[in-house]
A and B are shown apart, each in its own frame.
Chain A
């Protein structure tokens, strides 16, 4: 029994810590975040040079062959550093679906470009009417002149503002909410019939709503059979986001405790007040709960004896708890910083906004708890 990261995983984490210490202070980070791009291409290239972008890809595809635990180790550190560079949309989403494509030539061409940092991609999955339902897809793909023609509207596409290539999940069969009948399509973001409307999110990401109007795209999955690939990628995405959230929460708690030890009111440091001490103990416990459940999820997901139901139960439990405890920790961090917590110059607000955004991605706390209930208690 062992719940620590391995030596190799710790080395990976330490390399991120060292890089962040030297290159990614809060002000340095802002230079990228406040630029038009919303991130620093230079930093992103460094990630590629240091091999971090290869972690989730299999060795067959030229990657590091990392497990979900390796991905979590990296994401937890990126969370601590509040990395705004689009690692998640590019590696976990775009890279994840790319790896599950059935078109070997496309994989051989594009995966190396993702790993070396030269290709930015995005996955166009969710739609305005679907809220958090990844099967509610009205975007259609119809056969046209040897290829396919896409029509529809995809919303809040992560990485969508700077992606060169898009993987679009579109319906080739069935009713709008059928789980079957979905296929994957590859298309250039600047192709005819593609309109990309970009906007920033509260956490600094540049995203887009993307409209397809008779845009020709290439089928890269089995026809009508991409649903399970989407769900596999989402499962990994859920865990990756939770690991990032754990990193964010750790920093929020640490920053808050340190702040109360220096801030004086009524002639004493406010850390001496029991009312505040107990609130900080509660946020510490909130963190320990989430960290423990993350570790439990990682351990069970990498255990071949784990049933699909159990895996689903763990992932939904984890996302539910991240939603509750993340909000708890973020709100308290701002409250305990007092007026300073409201300022843009302090980092706590930025960390909290990232947590808030994670808790809106692919589901919120109520959504995941509902899914948990279905798996655990049926009906």
Chain B
């Protein structure tokens, strides 16, 4: 038993640390924290990563990725969080790209992957529908063949950043079979196509990132089909495993915890400091102790992956515990800051505490999504019940 990185990994860690220190400049940090021009700032940061060759973390080398081992990815993610740098926008590089380079044809790889790497194409995900949430296989959006095209009709929902996306990757129904999972295809659709309407959904964080996307006789060339018709479910499932490996968010939560501790040293409580309040300390350690356990849960999964295993149902466990901890931290941060955490302001702050309070409110409110998306935590429990406990 040991938790030592190899010397090669330790060198890599130094390299990554140095990179974040020089690349994530105070200027860029200020832009990220302002929350303005989300897309422009994200592209600026992603281009920096891409120039270093470190944008496509999960891609193999042949298609322009890093080809990193699970341990290297873990180190990179940890160092990113330590530096306070933002995550990349996942829909292109982390979500659709693995499907394209795994199941797509050469033409599609050539056409889409370079433009994802350069952040020229902005993607969004068309999975959920008004009638298909946790029960994704109930989806109804139809694609019917017409000459060289499909004609798509239906609606997708909860589509993050659809308002600024160039492309959407969709699961659509192309056939009717006894098993609902059959008859689903994976289709790439140009967002400028005629017949697409994006309706904003304003969420409880008083912000607009979610949308409904309505397809009304939208014409999509058949060459935009990934892999084989009616096999899309398999491709999407493979992608979900990708999505869940880093879902625990340990490094991010650790940074949140540190931030709360720092804040609580500045905040007063009765006549002392908040950090010295035993009740507050217990709220902190309730979370910190669970986070310490989660850290080693993740490392144990990582050690398994490193020895060649594929991600299994453990990822459901990481998702549940990881998101519960994130939400607990979001709430405690609001409580630590106090009444400023109710503020709806996005600029013109009275002071820095006001800014952080308003951000905390947004993070908490939008953070409710974490236990719902990527397969709700209840669905994850179903997965564990079946796959691990054999119930």
Contact = CB atoms under 8 A, between A and B. Distances in A.
Contact of A369 (B275, B285, B293): B285
B30 interface: no
B378 interface: yes
A93 B294 CA distance: 31
The prevalent SS among residues of B at the interface is: helix
B351 interface: no
A272 B386 CA distance: 10
Contact of A299 (B2, B286, B390): B2
Interface stretch (A2-10, A109-117, A159-167, A228-236): A2-10
A355 to B, nearest CB: 17
Contact of A1 (B278, B293, B306): B306
A82 B299 CA distance: 29
Given A257-B389, A285-B317, A293-B292, A277 B382 contact: yes
A293 B381 contact: no
A278 B378 contact: yes
A280 B303 contact: no
B385 A1 contact: no
Interface in A287-312: 288-290, 292-293, 295-296, 298-300, 302-303
Contacts of A370: 278
A280 B391 contact: yes
A3 B391 contact: no
A277 B3 contact: no
B382 A274 contact: yes
Given A1-B306, A379-B276, A281 B381 contact: yes
Contacts of B390: 257, 261
Contact of A278 (B5, B302, B385): B385
What size tier do the contact residues of chain A reach?
A: 35 or more
Contacts of A257: 389-391
A373 B381 contact: no
Given A285-B321, A289-B293, A296-B296, A376 B288 contact: yes
A284 B388 contact: yes
A281 B1 contact: no
B32 interface: no
A303 B389 contact: no
Given A1-B71, A69-B1, A292 B391 contact: no
B2 A321 contact: no
Given A277-B382, A289-B297, A289-B321, A372 B1 contact: no
Contact of B384 (A274, A281, A369, A379): A281
Contact of A317 (B278, B282, B289, B302): B289
A377 B281 contact: yes
Given A277-B389, A285-B321, A373 B293 contact: no
B374 to A, nearest CB: 17
A373 B261 CA distance: 12
Contacts of B289: 293, 317, 320-321, 369, 372
A221 interface: no
Contacts of B381: 277-278, 281-282
**Residue from A6, A272, A282, A299 with most neighbouring chain B CB atoms (10 Å):** A299
A369 B287 CA distance: 11
B284 interface: yes
Contacts of B278: 370, 373
Given A261-B391, A280-B385, A285-B317, A2 B1 contact: yes
Given A260-B391, A280-B389, A372-B285, A3 B1 contact: yes
B295 interface: yes
Contacts of A298: 1
B145 interface: no
A359 interface: no
B292 A296 contact: yes
A302 B1 contact: yes
B189 interface: no
A290 B382 contact: no
Contacts of A303: 2-4
A136 interface: no
Interface string B277-318: 010011011101110111111011011001000000000010
Contact of B303 (A1, A271, A376): A1
A274 B297 CA distance: 25
Nearest to A69: B1
Contacts of B382: 274, 277
Contacts of B3: 1, 3, 296, 299-300, 303
B71 A317 contact: no
B320 A285 contact: yes
Nearest to B284: A377
A149 to B, nearest CB: 41
7 contacts: A3-B300, A257-B389, A278-B385, A282-B381, A296-B293, A302-B2, A317-B288
Given A289-B290, A292-B300, 14 more contacts: A1-B303, A2-B2, A69-B1, A277-B382, A285-B317, A292-B296, A295-B296, A296-B3, A296-B296, A302-B1, A314-B292, A377-B261, A377-B281, A378-B275
Of all A-B residue pairs in the complex, the 3 with the closest CB atoms, nearest first, are: A296-B296, A292-B296, A277-B385
